């Protein structure tokens, strides 16, 4: 599905090179859910932004379904079946919720289909189908609509960057059920939340720009209990 080979990313900081990610090697397989976690500043969001093409690696390769996508643009990667849900969802002036779901699915959806996508993320289609995607929607509402778009796209690879941000407790419980149901594709979730760690098949622990360990929650529990990762285990 997705193979990352010898991936590195560095930036210039005060005329010197700063390594953000160092020699990342990992494979993500279809039908599995992975949670990327680790201390703040460990490179979690940087890694997923390189997978989607927002950032370009200093060196290394990203291979998706046997195709090297290292130098492809964002839209080209999206057309191959990769979706990305931002930590802070964007707004689209002049577009309604229905419009975005139609764009995401590549077809005109009937009310039943729209209702299905929105109900899965805890929204009532009757109340939201004709709402505009603007600042009148809360951060939590925008987040749920963005995840509904990911459901409508039916991508091979879904990437979620801290999906719990701005989500109330009830909605968060609902969303973990959504993630658990996405078993026909590969899902990568950046998160610190215990419930997401528990529902993931594998956890990728990043620290100081390197992968410290990949494994199940049971296997990584001792590392997550360390002082630098103490809040991950709550």
Count of the separate structural domains present in the chain: 1
The pLDDT of residue 53 is above 50:
yes
What does pTM read for this prediction?
0.83
- Domain with residue 16: its CATH number is 3.40.50.300
Q: Residue 186 is part of which domain span? A: 2-233
Q: How many angstroms separate the Cα of 152 from the Cα of each of 65, 93, 102, 184? A: 21, 21, 8, 13
Closest Cα to residue 97, out of 125, 135, 55?
A: 125
Over the stretch 191-222, which tens digit does the pLDDT of each residue have?
A: 988 888 988 999 999 999 999 999 999 999 88
Residue 90: the pLDDT is: 65
In percent, the amount of the chain with pLDDT more than 90 equals 39
d(CA 180, CA 198): 10
The rounded mean pLDDT for the chain is 85
d(CA 120, CA 118): 5
- Are 204 and 48 spatial neighbours (Cβ–Cβ below 8 Å)? no
Closest Cα to residue 104, out of 154, 144, 153?
A: 153
Residue 231: the pLDDT is: 47
Over the stretch 77-131, which tens digit does the pLDDT of each residue have?
A: 999 999 887 766 666 778 888 998 998 888 898 888 888 888 888 788 888 889 8
């Amino acid at each position: 599905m997705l193979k990352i080979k010898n991936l590195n990313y560095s930036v210039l900081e005060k005329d010197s090179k700063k390594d953000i990610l160092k020699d990342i090697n990992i494979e993500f397989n279809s039908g599995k859910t992975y949670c990327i976690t680790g201390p703040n500043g460990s490179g979690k969001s940087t890694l997923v932004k390189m997978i989607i093409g927002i950032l370009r690696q200093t060196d290394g390769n990203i291979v998706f379904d046997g195709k090297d996508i290292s130098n492809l643009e964002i839209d080209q990667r999206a057309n191959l079946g990769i979706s990305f849900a931002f930590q802070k969802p964007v707004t689209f002036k002049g577009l309604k919720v229905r419009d975005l779901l139609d764009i995401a699915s590549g077809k005109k959806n009937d009310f039943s289909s729209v209702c299905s996508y929105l109900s899965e993320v805890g929204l009532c289609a009757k109340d939201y189908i004709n709402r505009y995607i603007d600042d009148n929607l809360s951060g939590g509402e925008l987040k749920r609509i963005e995840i509904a778009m990911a459901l409508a796209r039916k991508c091979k690879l879904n990437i979620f960057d801290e999906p719990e941000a701005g989500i109330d407790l009830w909605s968060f419980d609902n969303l973990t059920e959504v993630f658990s149901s996405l078993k026909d594709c590969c899902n990568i979730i950046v998160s610190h939340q215990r419930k997401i760690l528990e529902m993931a098949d594998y956890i990728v622990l990043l620290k100081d720009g390197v992968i410290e360990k990949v494994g199940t929650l049971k296997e990584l529990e001792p590392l997550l209990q360390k002082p630098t990762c103490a809040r991950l285990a709550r």
